[in-house]
Structure 1
Amino acid sequence: MAPEPSLSPAGRTFVVTGPTGGVGESTALALGAAGAHVVLACRNVDKGKLVAEKIGPTASVHRLDLSDLASVREFASGLRATHETIDVLINNAGVMAVPLQRTADGFEMQMGTNYFGHFALTGLLLDRVTDRVVTVSSAAHRFGRIDLDDPNWERRRYNRAAAYAQSKLANLMFSFELARRLDATGSPVRSLAAHPGYAATNVGSHTGTWFDRLFGFGKKILQRTPERGAESVLCAATEPGLRGGYIGPDGFLELYGSPHSAGCSARARDPETARRLWELSECITGVRFGL
């Protein structure tokens, strides 16, 4: 059974990226069951339609390929044409520990999909968001380092686990920097981050890296479902008392447990690197927030 959101989303609009499996699907289903209008933003529209059928008439399906900035712009333009406001944007979609690939815009696939695509999407929709932006990171961000001189692994020897960790660190730093910039303008919109801990999904279970061992441990010992993994995301998206921060499970190594205020690396809290990453992201995506 899907977890119950803290604040009734009934009648509110939630945009969820990556809703066709795992934590994203569980998040979308829980919101739909609570009466929300759920915009399913997905690369595979046919899979999206199957999820929409489970939710019912309050769900709509829109194509979004975060690895292609043209698709991000097309999606945002279409959504702006049909939705005057969006209550909550949930930046959930992602790829994990894939071999070296390039996006349509030449970005390393994990950095491009997990981070740059969501950065651009948020910038293109932010003026329509009335409540909050939730960006999904990972405990793996602790192993990440932001290389501002080579974020897309064009000069470094590629390491897919390190590339994933960098992308998730970038997600978390973006969420914190967005919160700082929104607060500085007096905006009522909130920016929060969340991570699901371990959840038994297909993502990351056949990476050919040390992630496989971690996921194997999780499946054998924790037996933690995507529905449980979605709890932190739902908390960040619906808990009324949250102004900002990072939500994750409260169990051992934050792999499992109930949502609480999660810990993060010192690098994630570095405002100077976050500022420089933001400026770089605006430059290479062509999306400027005006914050």
Structure 2
Amino acid sequence: MALSWSYDDMPGQTGRTVVITGAGSGLGLVLADRLARRGASVIMAVRDVAKGERARSGLTGDLEVRQVDLADLDSVRRFADGMRADRRRIDVLVNNAGIGGQTRELTPQGHESVFATNHLGAFALTGLLLDLFRPDHDPRVVAVGSNLYRRVKVATDFEDLRADRHFSPGAAYVKSKLANILFGAELDRRLRRAGSPVRSFLSHPGMASTPMHDSARTFAQRAMVTIGGALFSRPVEQAALPLAFAATDPAARTGVFLGFAARKKDIRVHFDALVPPADDLALAARLWRISEEATGVRYLGEPLPLQDRRERL
């Protein structure tokens, strides 16, 4: 299934509050701009406040910059505490922020930084903000993954949080994006089990021309970005469309991957079924347990027994 969709099709967002991580540039900035134009109050959750304020100054609408470093769990807790202290309620959380890394680096909590930023920070932030969602405003969480998981097979040794056994920049990124998908799908299953009105959507931009490409350093990486960009990459304004669709449109569905096909000329939003290992229920439950232990953020209880979960899907 695929739908033709543009920003002109976005429903009005007046009265809705949206938190977007990584909103200082790239996909997050485009999404913040488009949502604000449609009337949403947008909280731009960024690591660099000065950069975020410069980005915000070029936009119109109700936009607020708040600091959060998803690589640092203490910063994630401060962000959530600040939202709660200010009595902020939210309707949509877009877990967009993501990094790539050329070298193995550790966070203040001792976790490999790419996985920590792209997955653990999003897992913790979602759990810490979950009670701030308004139940009657079509509450949504949007995970931003990558279709690379279908083409690049990576180890699922999520227990190796420090990447002590092996670190490869490309594999670390794909592994973190696979974790985003597993988490987003498992989140929706647990929300349904709990009877929550919050829904969890999975989205991806295809290959997008974003600042993340600037991290390519080796000749092979630069060549891949250049060639891949020429063949598959979309302008960031266009690449953010599936994220906006997942965040706002009544036709969006959970349990599928909302994004573009590989062909650049096909700008429809596709509803793609998850394929292994992203559809592995046991792996998703294992990742959830690992994430709770790593972050200290526990929510939505235990999963259903595996057979019961399959029967409900």
Q: TM-score, normalised by structure 2?
A: 0.86
Q: 1:227 aligns with which of 217, 237, 244?
A: 237
Shift of 1:222: 4.7
Q: C-alpha separation between the residues in 1 aligned to 2:221 and 2:8?
A: 30
Aligned to 2:277: 267
Q: C-alpha separation between the residues in 1 aligned to 2:8 and 2:174?
A: 30
> Structure 1 regions of 5+ residues with no counterpart?
none
Of the structure 1 ranges 93-102 and 104-113, higher mean CA displacement relative to structure 2 is found in 93-102
Q: 2:7 aligns with which of 3, 17, 20?
A: 3
Aligned to 2:142: 134
Q: C-alpha separation between the residues in 2 aligned to 1:223 and 1:94?
A: 18
Shift of 1:247: 0.6
Aligned to 1:35: 39
| 1:196 pairs with 2:199 | no
Q: Is the 8 A contact 1:98 1:110 kept in 2?
A: no
Structure with larger Rg: 2
Amino acid at match of 2:260: P
Shift of 1:186: 1.6
Aligned to 1:284: 294
Amino acid at match of 1:228: Q
Paired residue total:
288
Aligned to 1:114: 118
Q: C-alpha separation between the residues in 2 aligned to 1:211 and 1:8?
A: 41
Q: Is the 8 A contact 1:145 1:267 kept in 2?
A: no
Q: What does the per-residue CA deviation read over 1:136-189, in whole Å, with 9 as the maximum and x for residues that have no partner?
A: 1111223233203314312x1211111111100000000000011011112111
Q: Is the 8 A contact 2:39 2:61 kept in 1?
A: no
Q: C-alpha separation between the residues in 2 aligned to 1:66 and 1:140?
A: 22
Shift of 1:205: 4.1
| 1:247 pairs with 2:252 | no
Amino acid at match of 2:70: L
Q: C-alpha separation between the residues in 2 aligned to 1:4 and 1:145?
A: 41
Q: 1:238 aligns with which of 248, 272, 296?
A: 248
SS at match of 2:213: coil
Q: 2:82 aligns with which of 78, 99, 115?
A: 78
Amino acid at match of 2:108: A
Q: C-alpha separation between the residues in 2 aligned to 1:38 and 1:233?
A: 15
SS at match of 1:80: helix
Aligned to 1:207: 216
Q: Is the 8 A contact 2:206 2:233 kept in 1?
A: no
- Aligned Cα root-mean-square deviation (Å): 2.0
SS at match of 1:86: coil
Q: Is the 8 A contact 2:182 2:284 kept in 1?
A: yes
Aligned to 1:258: 268
Q: Is the 8 A contact 1:11 1:35 kept in 2?
A: yes
**Cα distance change of structure 1 residues 287 and 223 upon mapping to structure 2, 3 Å threshold:** closer
Q: C-alpha separation between the residues in 1 aligned to 2:63 and 2:125?
A: 20
Q: Is the 8 A contact 2:232 2:262 kept in 1?
A: no
Q: C-alpha separation between the residues in 2 aligned to 1:211 and 1:17?
A: 26
> Structure 2 regions of 5+ residues with no counterpart?
1-5, 302-313
Q: C-alpha separation between the residues in 1 aligned to 2:278 and 2:159?
A: 18
SS at match of 2:65: strand
Q: C-alpha separation between the residues in 2 aligned to 1:206 and 1:84?
A: 35
